Amino acid sequence: MAELLKVENLSAGYGEAVVLNNVSLSLNPGQTLALLGRNGTGKTTFINTLAGTTRQHGGTITFDGVALHKVPLHQRAHAGIGWVPQERNIFKSLTVDENLSAVARPGPWTPARAYEMFPRLAERKTNLGTQLSGGEQQMLAVARALVLNPKLLLLDEPLEGLAPIIVQELLRAIRRITREEGLSAIIVEQHPQAILAISDVAAVLDRGTVVHSGTAQSLLDQPELLDRLLGVAR
């Protein structure tokens, strides 16, 4: 099987500051990668580098046969990257419906399917982004990425700061998107057990380098290793 994403010896950061050092990872079509690590280890920088918002100092990124590191930021969505950053980046002055219709591209994921996935958004079609709760804004951010009809979905801490009931709704949606619909995804998250349970493979970053990679199940089966890598309790 040809790899969907192949990252080799990637070094990147912000300006002259290098955050990632010689990171190598790969992902097959239909796989979900849980990207884990303590705060400040480079997880968001990795996602941002794929999205094109950092300065790349070295290495290559091959995505679906294309040299992604040579593709400018504004063309990466067209290349097949769906990005949900921590800041969500929804258009707060537009309605929910306008947020989706403004970016929708041809493909199986339509605004109607996004509403079916997130019924709360369907109830708030005419609400402005500023009138949504934090959880609803996160759902809208995910829905906006989906209607781009990407080949790879990047989710940067999608559960952060949300109420438990919203966390469960989002987890169900992400499981459906990845497990049932087969969309490849990379998920950065501070809830390792929740994300590992719906992922195929996992990688752990520390000080900008990969210190562990393997199957998600193997990390779930080794709680002591997970504790040591992440400093978390079960």
Question: pLDDT averaged over the chain?
Answer: 94
Q: Are 68 and 79 in contact (CB under 8 A)?
A: yes
Q: Which residue do the tokens 């067209």 mark?
A: 78
pLDDT of residue 166 exceeding 50, the answer is yes
Q: What is the pLDDT of residue 234?
A: 42
Burial profile 96-123: b = 16 or more Cβ within 10 angstroms, e = fewer: bbebbeebbeeeebbbeebbebbebbee
Q: What is the pLDDT of residue 232?
A: 52
Rounded Cα gap, residues 193 and 35, in angstroms: 12
Query: What average pLDDT score do residues 57-85 get?
Result: 95
Express each pLDDT in 109-133 by its tens digit: 999 999 999 999 999 999 999 999 9
CATH number of 1-80+186-234, picked from 2.40.110.10, 3.40.50.300, 3.40.50.2300, 2.30.300.10: 3.40.50.300
Rounded Cα gap, residues 206 and 37, in angstroms: 6
Domain boundaries defined on the chain: 1-80+186-234
Express each pLDDT in 180-227 by its tens digit: 999 999 999 887 988 999 999 999 999 999 999 999 999 999 999 999
Q: Are 170 and 186 in contact (CB under 8 A)?
A: no
pLDDT of residue 233 exceeding 70, the answer is no
